[in-house]
Each structure stands twice: as C-alpha cells, then as structure tokens.
Amino acid sequence: MLIETLEKRGAKSALLQNNRVIEAGALARDAKALAGALARRTLGEGDRIALLLPNCKELALALLACGRLGSIAAPLDPAVTAPELARSLQVLAPKCIFLLGRQMRTLEAALGSAGLSPPLVVRIDQDLEGALATDDESVQLELLLEEGSPCPAGPPERAAFLAHMVHRGRGAPHFAVRSADAVLEGAVLAARATGLIDARAETSQPVLAAAPFFRPGALELEVVAPLALGVPIAVLKQLRAGVALKLARVHGVRSIIGPPALLGLMARIVAGGEPAPEGVRLCVATSAPPPPPAQAEEIERAFQASLVWGYSPPEAPWALAVSEERRALPPAARGLGDPVGDVSVALVQDGVEGATGEIHVRSRRAARELLGERTADRPTPLGMPTGDRAVRLPDGTLKLLPREDVATVAAYEVDLAEVSEALRRHPAVALAQAAAIPDPELGNHVRAVVTLAPGGEASVAELVDFLRGSLAYYKIPHSFRFRRLGRPE
C-alpha cells in the first residue's frame, strides 16, 4: 500500500506546499499515527470519513490514514454552503469529518438541517471560531498525531474505498464507491497513458497539482499516482494562475495538472511577459470536454510543452487519454483519446453515420454500487452510462459534445439543475433555467433565465445575495436574463 511505499522513500520529498517540504518518511509516519488515533476512536473498515478540505498536505494525510483503516474516504468541496453540505451528509452519514476551523458553523448548520448526530470532527488548524456546541466531538489534528496510539498492523483484507460525488444533472449528490486497489491501478495506468509518469524520465522533478482534489480524476492523477510512483507533488492550495506559475518556477516542476481554464490563464500571463517555468514537458487538462483547439495551441506555445487530456467518468477515471502518437497531431485532430488499460468505450447508436450517442464505459475498475453497499463478487456491469454524449468521427476518434445539464466553470463542475432549483425557491421567481455560456477565461459561466411571477420584483443583486446562502460561490450565475409571465421583458 501507499504508506509502505512512502516509508521506503525515507528522506526524499513527497509533498511541496508553499515553502514547506514534507519528506515521504515523515508523511508515512504521520499517516500511521493518524490511523492509530482514529482506530482508537473505533473508526475502521467501511466507516465513512468526509474530507472537507482544500488541496493540502492534510488531505493527502487523511487519505493515507483511511487506506490503512479500510475506511471510505469521501473528499468534498470545501466551498460548499450549509444546505449543500447537508445534502451530502444525508447520503454519506459520516462517522468522522476533517475540516478547517472556520467551517465549523457551516457544519453545525448542515448537521441540524440533515437531522444527524455530530460525527467526530478533526480540525486541521487552530481556528476555534464557530466551534460546535458539543465541542467534545471535535479535536485538533496535531493532538491526534501526538497521541502515540498504535497503528493497525496492516491494511484490512478489503482495503480502503474512495467515495466520489458525481454530477449527472440530478440536482442532488450521487456517490460512487471504488476500491483502493482499483483506484491505485487506474491512477497508475492513467499517469503512464498520459505521459505524466515516464519510466525513462527522472522522478525527482515534481508535478504541480493545480486542480481540485475532490474531483475524482484529479485526485487520482494528482495524488494517488505520484505517491505510488515516487514523484514529488507541488500542492497548489489556492487555485490561481499567478500563484501556480510562481510555484512551478520555484520547484522546477516538469508537469502541470490543472483545468483548461487555469492553464489558459497561465499561458496568457506568460504571453504578457512573465517568464515561463523552465523544464515543463507536459500540461495535463483535467476537465472534459477537451479545451478548444485555439486554447490548446496557446497553452502549448506558452510552455513549449505538449498538452494532453483524458476523459474521466467517475466510474472509471481516465478511461480515455490522448496517446503519444496523437500528441503529434494538431489539437483539433486529436479527438477525445484512446482507451486506457482494460477499459472499453461504446456509444449507443454507434455506427449510424452522423448520429450521436451516450457514452457507456466498461471496466473491471468501474464502480459497481452506490454508497453503503458491498461489491462482494458481483460481475462487472456490461456498461455504465455516464450521461455524456459524443459522436464518432470518420477516423474513429470520439468527439465529446457539450452537456446541457453540467457546466465546467474554471476548475469546477456545476450541476445546472441545482442552480435552477435554487433560483425557483425565491418568492418572486416563477420559472428559472440555468445554462452554460462559453467564457474565454472561465471556460464557461452560468447564465440564468429568470421568469418573474405576476407582480414579483427581483434585481440581479437581490438574486445573487439570495443564492449565496445556498450555493457555493462558483455556482452563482454570472449573468441574468429576465422575463415575466405572459410577455418577455
């Protein structure tokens, strides 16, 4: 498992966060200490642990501890509001949750709304503002690491699971569960298929992790694969283009992993005169669909490096990746990618000229259950619909079509049904429909078409303020169009 791999690396760097260098051996030691402290509190195999954390050392530490315990680690979006968190907690019902101290009040409101008892809360910092009323249920991470509780002897027989939240236009969270072995195998295959990890390359040069860890494909490509293969990770806690460039230069990274919008902004900063990091050989775009050809060319020109992307449904992350042969083609001709490992991809209605179809993925690494069930020895499903639609081009490559129910905004996915539903709760709104609008900086932004009820009045500022109480900041529409029942305005 990963802890043993890190122990063998000893004093070599595992994580680079700002000016901190975390050695592999120290990370393994802390992970075992944390696993022992959690086991002492009766956490173990199959228990659900929510990680409400930004990209940071502590998230990697918690993942490693969950691996030793065999617990289900569920990374969640740290920007969520109390109503959003309540919906996730109702599905997860975690026995433990990791968070920042400033998120305590959000958690308390979410627990009250969901009608759940407080889980064990692990604060990764010393910010006590908004502490739970029942503060006996919270503890600081540093205190757990100092306890000296014995670590479980080894990973359980059915070691760790990862629970990932996926967006399918349902307006509600849906979680897929995948075993740790499947996650590890898929992550390593994806790292090699994209060229992120090259057996011929020096492994001492770090990769820059600049995509949100709670995204399934990003987590496995940015954290699991590098930890397993001995590659240091430069962690970008704040997903900002200027900070990313500085970190890449300081640590001499050779690969940058991030959403296309962030990579595009970094390329524009370089084109504006800021020096590009030296030695970058690869940029990996983590979002689907692939970046527009013009943006891809801009990124490659700025960094003098190849840009690759993969298709990463939560059931089988990085099912497709742009092969080395394809990278020699212009971005517009590269398509969606080639199958990785034992994954097969099919289209409903495939073979009908000019027809589009829904993507089905088959893989023994695919998720076979919803949270709370066991995989046992069930057969691998014949195919798992992802909700995405594509068309097969004459040369056999796949072209992914934009989804109407999910928008990729900067580094994040937005469930448009969730935004529409939140708007409809405003008393002056009769109807509302959210849509994705192409945006040169964000990739997309959300536009809301709002139909006001007879006699109802609502300004843009009022609606934005209303949504802030129920939606994360990046889900709030950037533009509005107003109509009124009976006649357009």
Tens digits of per-residue pLDDT, 84-94? 999 999 988 99
- pLDDT over 50 (residue 148): yes
Question: Residue 468's pLDDT band (boundaries 50, 70, 90)?
Answer: very high
Q: Which CATH architecture has domain 24-159?
A: 3-Layer(aba) Sandwich (3.40)
CA 218/CA 31 separation, integer angstroms: 21
Q: Does 372 score more than 50 pLDDT?
A: no
Residues composing the chain = 489
pLDDT at 133: 44
pLDDT at 138: 82
The domain limits of the chain are: 24-159, 180-343+377-384+392-400, 406-488
Residue 222 has pLDDT above 70, yes or no: yes
For residue 408, name the pLDDT band (cuts at 50, 70, 90). confident
- Statement: residue 168 has pLDDT above 70: no
d(CA 331, CA 307): 9
Contact of 409 with 446, CB cutoff 8 Å: yes
pLDDT for residue 287: 77
Of residues 41 and 177, the one with the higher pLDDT is 41
Second CATH level (architecture) for the domain 406-488? 2-Layer Sandwich (3.30)
- Note the pLDDT of residue 382: 52
* Band (134; pLDDT cuts 50, 70, 90): very low
Question: What's the pLDDT score for residue 346?
Answer: 83
| Parallel/antiparallel/unpaired status of strands 96-99 and 138-140 | unpaired
The lowest-confidence range among 90-94, 282-286, 374-378, 385-389 is: 374-378
Task: Pick the range with the lowest mean pLDDT from 39-48, 54-63, 132-141.
Answer: 132-141
pLDDT number for residue 130: 47
- Average pLDDT in the chain: 85
pTM listed for this prediction: 0.90
31 against 316, higher pLDDT: 31
What integer is the mean pLDDT of 151-163? 81
Tokens 């066991």 belong to: 374
Q: What is the reported pLDDT for 132?
A: 46
Question: Where is pLDDT greater, at 358 or 23?
Answer: 23
pLDDT range class, residue 365, cuts 50, 70, 90: low
Q: CB-based contacts of 204: which residues, under 8 Å, 6+ apart?
A: 12, 232
Domain 180-343+377-384+392-400 belongs to what topology? Rossmann fold (3.40.50)
Classify each residue of 234-262 as buried b or exposed e, where b means 16 or more C-beta atoms within 10 Å of its C-beta: bbbbebebeebbebbbebebbbbbbbbbb
Q: Is the pLDDT of residue 169 over 60?
A: no
How far, in Å, CA of 417 to CA of 411, rounded? 19
Say if residue 449's pLDDT is above 50.
yes
Cα angle: 59, vertex 64, 70; to 5 degrees: 120
Residues near 98 by Cβ (< 8 Å), separated by ≥ 6?
A: 49, 50, 51, 52, 53, 58, 59, 62, 122, 124, 141
Which pLDDT score, from 0 to 100, does residue 366 have? Answer: 63
Percent with pLDDT over 90 in the chain: 48
Q: Is the pLDDT of residue 474 over 90?
A: yes
The domains spanning 180-343+377-384+392-400 and 406-488 adopt the same CATH topology? no
Question: Which pLDDT score, from 0 to 100, does residue 349 have?
Answer: 75
More confident residue, 181 or 254: 254
Q: Give the least confident one: 135-144, 205-214, 438-447.
A: 135-144
The residues, any chain, with a CB within 8 Å of residue 367's CB and separated by 6 or more, are 176, 177, 178, 314, 315, 316, 384
